[in-house]
Chain A
């Protein structure tokens, strides 16, 4: 995987999260274009229509780098209206943006980047934490020229949100993209090797494909004497031997099948599979985990 491919992959997955989060506020109101890698030394905000509002979010843990989401003034007003459940098309355009509208833009950025950081963290195999958003108003190109630190790599992707153009610029240091390239290459290698296994003996034949199986996720487990177990009163707290960011283990009919990360999908727990275990031996009969 080349550096350019890794950059485009990173920005593409971030853009997908942007569309998903913005889509919750304005269904059918968001489209994205293909990401591009900006030439070295480019001024990332040179092409934006002004005046504009830029909301930026940095990573605070895991990796360094930054994300800037630039919106038109009208775009911010429409987005704020949509976030409040109002008709974005009926917004009366004004010269000045209210504090509430700017705050809504920052909050939307916070939610988009939290989702994107989670997707990036899944690729890197570690949690990526974001900082609070910063919102700025730019009325001229000079305003925007030196506000953000230049990084060796920069990408840009355009969106249309509620009829208004907006743009995400990612500022990406070398160390980040080196790790990302390596992690993506490892993921590709794993996909190829597990794919070979599945095409062998792992896939059940047609006749048994429809058999329902029980699937459960194990959050953690512990051991205790039976006397203690049977005397647990309601309200007792049982500590599990796992850290909050440990992967959860997925079992299919008692067989340890995969590990992954807990996610929330429409207010319900879900598991994103990180690793699928190679098919091996007889099923373990281990069913003792707390779920």
Chain B
């Protein structure tokens, strides 16, 4: 079981992720709706792992990822991308994200990605 921070601008996606992760035995300790909230919540909560959407208002997921990793190089971040965002995914992985899931995602794939990134 891990303490997870979920960041996505769509309330719908935050709920879906929280449901999937809750059922898998993880605890969702916080949520964020943009890149600024991602960084703030990461600092305040220091989660074991976080999911981070790429396309978000104010500050996108890539900018937030880089900021979070500069605060804590060991932060575990799993990116959430839509179809067609391959180059963003590559940049995120190159920057230090542990893994990624592509929306619309299968619950099993999300749980797998979180499980692998925690090991």
Contacts and interface: CB of A to CB of B under 8 A. Distances in A.
Interface stretch (A4-12, A111-119, A227-235, A274-282): A111-119
Interface string B30-74: 000000000000000000000000011100000000000000000
Contacts of A262: 86-87, 90
A244 B10 contact: no
Nearest to A21: B83
Contact of B10 (A107, A118, A119, A121): A107
Interface in A67-115: 80, 83-84, 99-101, 103-104, 106-107, 110-111, 114-115
A109 B85 CA distance: 15
Interface string A223-247: 0000000000000000000001100
Contacts of B85: 114, 118
Contacts of B86: 118, 261-264
B54 to A, nearest CB: 9
B103 A111 contact: yes
Contact of B83 (A121, A127, A264): A264
Q: Which of A17, A111, A117, A130 has the most CB of B within 10 A?
A: A111
Interface of B: 9-13, 15-16, 55-57, 81-91, 94, 102-104, 106, 109
Contact of A244 (B11, B12, B87, B102): B87
Contact of A84 (B16, B56, B88): B16
B13 A118 contact: no
The 4 closest A-B pairs by CB, nearest first: A118-B84, A114-B82, A103-B12, A107-B10
A100 B12 CA distance: 5
Which interface residue of B84, B89, B90, B91 has the most chain A CB atoms within 10 A?
B84
26 contacts: A24-B104, A80-B12, A99-B11, A103-B11, A103-B12, A103-B13, A106-B12, A110-B10, A111-B83, A114-B55, A115-B84, A118-B83, A118-B84, A118-B86, A119-B84, A121-B84, A127-B87, A132-B9, A132-B57, A244-B87, A244-B88, A244-B90, A244-B94, A245-B87, A263-B86, A264-B83
A7 to B, nearest CB: 21
A116 B102 CA distance: 15
Nearest to A106: B10
Contacts of B11: 99-100, 103
A130 B85 CA distance: 10
A83 B86 CA distance: 23
A263 B82 CA distance: 11
A127 B86 CA distance: 10
A132 B55 CA distance: 6
Given A111-B82, A131-B57, 18 more contacts: A21-B83, A25-B104, A83-B104, A103-B11, A104-B12, A107-B12, A107-B13, A107-B103, A111-B104, A114-B82, A115-B84, A121-B84, A130-B55, A132-B55, A244-B94, A262-B86, A264-B83, A264-B102
Contacts of A244: 87-88, 90-91, 94
Contact of A132 (B56, B81, B90): B56
A115 B55 contact: no
B8 to A, nearest CB: 8
A24 B105 CA distance: 10
A267 interface: yes
Contacts of A84: 16
Nearest to A239: B94
Nearest to A113: B82
